[in-house]
Structure 1
Amino acid sequence: MDACCQSIEKEEKQPAVSVEKLEWMYEQMVKIRYYEDQMVEAYTEGKTPVFNIGARAVPGEMHLATGQEPAAVGMCVHLTKEDTVTAPHRPHHNAIAKGVDLKKMTAEIFGKETGLGKGKGGHMHLFDPEVKFSCGGIVGAGIPHALGAAMTSKMQGKDSVAVAFIGEGAANAGSFHESLNLAAVWNLPLIVVVEDNSYGISVPKSSATSVESNDLRASAYGIAGAYVKDNDPVAMYKAAEEAIARARTGQGPTIIEIETYRYLGHFQGDPELYRDPAEVPGLRQKDPIAKLKKMLSETESVSENDLEAMENRAKQEVDEAYQFARDSSYPNPEDALKDVFNS
């Protein structure tokens, strides 16, 4: 088997990553975690004691990414505004790490006219052309979109890349296989990041997927595959760095699967009867944010004051975004059919 077709398991000691990059990753992870924690509170307003999915400030379904921060920051730390990112129905961590306007994103989730889509899309349909980010609620649908962006980059002679974030369940969809086959045939700068949080809604990965990890499927397309164990942000950084270097230099696509952890339910209100009650407390004991904070605190150039400043900046930005969303107006009812495709 060619070296490019072999799965790369990140078990060895990780090479050094600059303190500046680690600081960026830490601040983004804190921001993502705090954002999702605040969304739990905002979403639950008026939905108790009887759960009403359409009630109050944030109506509709809500899929949060608490615990899955390393997948987003380890990849997006390497990206520019010219690189494209697509995300699935659990998109907030990917959006924040890519640099989506946090105020407009939050307003969109609250259904306000100042939102990215004027309040008409909600949290599963975030679109920010300024940083080339989009997401959608159809499983696996973002992969062909990223494929198109990768093809555009190659046809225009640019070195930009396209990254599709998906859950492990989407790796069993036809769009995954068809897109990767074309990406390999055309040697496109596409990277598919499989966030394996162990469950496709409530179905364990072991019950639905024929391979131990989806990076192994890279050999079927003659492309590179990498596996990141234990939700490690530094290992994700290195796997992403290598994949992006290949993509930017015309060496084709990569599949990265990261073993990550979803602390919350598939959606807010999920009774989680499919999980052992001891599972999440065990996962939280090896939280990636705490690990990265410890790593930074052990470096000579990062003080406790520095870490506190990063945390305060992240939380202030989130608080301002939520306040902006709450203060914004709802769209006028007569605008409901504007910006809608008509045949």
Structure 2
Amino acid sequence: MNSLLEHYQNMLRIRRVEEAIAARYSEQQMRCPTHLSIGQEAAAVGVSASLTVKDKAYSSHRAHAHYLAKGGSLDALIAELYGKQTGCTGGRGGSMHLTDLSAGFVASTAIVGNSIPLAVGNALHQQVQKLDEISVTYFGEGATEEGAFYESANFAALRKLPVLFVCENNRYSVYSPLSVRQPESRSIVALANAIGLNAIEVDGNDVEQVAAATAELVKGIRNGDGPALIECHTYRHREHCGPNFDDDLGYRPEDEVAHWLARDPVTLLQQKLLDLGASAQQLEALDGKIGSEIANAFELAQVADFPNPDDNERFVYAE
């Protein structure tokens, strides 16, 4: 039960952070595009349960959950969204360019598939230097349509690099479903296995399943068995980019949306905890504690200074 409570706390924290971002986004103080992970929290939390601080994580445009699950600073994340100098990239990157090296979260990038070769390159470094750590790259199923995925997976398999590929398959690339992007018979797991990865698929909304499967894969990677891929089937609740719900556009079937909303990973885990004997008061107290932490992060961000314009040309190129 303790591990489930920890998973729940981490998932609920991510959910409440992103709900707060969505609620405040219309105030026009967060002037960067933001891609929310609401509905996809179990994948990030389940994977991170097997990672150490020394392990290095890379992510894509939808990175908040990965950053927070890896231990990234909440205060620095919110300040970054506000473009403040206390942000995790000094107010320069916004939502899609996060980093917290102290937590082992190296970078997130806006370009689809771009985090994959970065993680594989770092895994090569880890192997050559004989470091006791692995690399992890998070991406959506759309990234498996990019050449960067194939080239990186092939090289990782060839060199038996210590890297975990995490594919969050939420079925949509903006408004385009899988049916118009990939052949119906294609299996991402079968494809990855054919390339040479140890690949499996799981229910990405079941944090226990994600955590257990990841633990086995990571154990093999650390033992020198080579790279692995986990495909987490999941679903985003809100629009591709932004704080709103957009199912009035009709690009997702109503019955499909209803099915996945009924499988909300946070709600499912909450109910399981209650069934196992956790009290409603205990979970409400946890929610309140998280709410106070989030409120404080927003207060700090709002009063922080904007970056000094004199520093605009710094960090553009290596000095």
TM-score by length of 1: 0.87
Q: Give the structure 2 partner of residue 151 of structure 1.
A: 124
More helix per residue:
2
8 A contact 1:183–1:190 mirrored in 2: yes
**C-alpha distance in 2, partners of 1:188/1:230?**
25
1:336 deviates by 1.9
Q: 2:17 aligns with which of 19, 23, 35?
A: 35
My pick for the range that moved more, 329-338 or 28-37, is 329-338
The partner residue of 2:238 within 257, 260, 264 is 264
User: In structure 1, what is the equivalent of residue 113 of structure 2?
Assistant: 140
What is the DSSP-based 3-state SS (H/G/I as helix, E as strand, rest coil) of the residue aligned with 1:234?
helix
Task: Give the Cα separation in 2 of the matches to 1:143 and 1:331.
Answer: 30
Residue 295 of structure 1, CA deviation: 1.5
After superposition, residues 64-83 of structure 1 pair within 5 angstroms as 64-83=36-55
Identity %: 35
Q: One-letter code of the match for 1:35?
A: V
Deviation at residue 317 of structure 1 after TM alignment: 2.0
Contact 1:159 1:249 in 2 (8 A): no
1:296 CA drift (Å)? 1.7
Answer whether contact 1:24 1:77 (CA < 8 A) is retained: no
Alignment equivalent of 1:223, drawn from 166, 183, 197: 197
Alignment of 1:333 with 2:316, yes or no, is no
- The answer to whether the aligner puts 1:188 opposite 2:188 as a matched pair is no
| Distance in 2, Cα, partners of 1:198 & 1:215 | 15
Shift of 1:333: 2.6
Corresponding residue number in structure 2 for 1:125: 97
Report if the CA contact (8 A) 1:213-1:227 is conserved.
Answer: no
Structure 1 runs not aligned, ≥5 long: 1-18, 46-55
The answer to whether structure 1 residue 208 and structure 2 residue 181 are counterparts is yes
* Pairwise CA distance, 1:43: 1.2
Q: CA deviation at 1:251?
A: 0.8
Q: Which amino acid aligns with 1:331?
A: P
| CA deviations over 1:19-61 (Å, ceiling 9, x no partner) | 222111100110111111111122122xxxxxxxxxx201132
Q: Please point out which of 42, 56, 59 is paired with 1:87.
A: 59
Q: Does 1:255 align with 2:232?
A: no
Cα distance, 1:314 vs structure 2: 2.3
Tell me the C-alpha RMSD between the 2 structures: 1.8
Counterparts of 1:149 and 1:31, CA distance in 2: 29
Residue of structure 2 aligned with 1:323, choices 278, 299, 303:
299
How many aligned positions are there? Answer: 314
Kindly indicate whether the alpha-carbon contact (under 8 Å) linking 2:59 and 2:66 is maintained by their aligned counterparts in 1.
yes
- Match in the other structure for 2:88: 116
CA contact (8 A) 1:21 1:77 kept: no
Q: Deviations over 1:86-134 (max 9, x none)?
A: 1110110111100101101110111001111110111101111111211
Distance 2:221 2:156 in 1: 11
Match for 1:92: what amino acid?
A: H
Cα 1:131–1:220, aligned 2, differ >3 Å: closer, same or farther? same
Task: Give the 3-state SS of the residue equivalent to 2:137 in structure 1.
Answer: strand
Deviations 1:52-71 (A, max 9, x none): xxxx2011322111100011
- Mapped to 2, the partners of 1:280 and 1:227 lie a distance apart of 21
Q: 1:294 matched to which residue of 2?
A: 271
- Aligned equivalent of 2:210, options 230, 236, 239: 236
Equivalent residue letter for 2:129: Q
TM superposition shift of 1:205: 1.2
SS of the aligned residue for 1:127 comes to coil
Q: Structure 2: state its 5+ residue gaps.
A: none
Shift in Å, 1:186:
0.7
Letter in 1 for 2:233: E
Deviation (angstroms), 1:298: 2.4
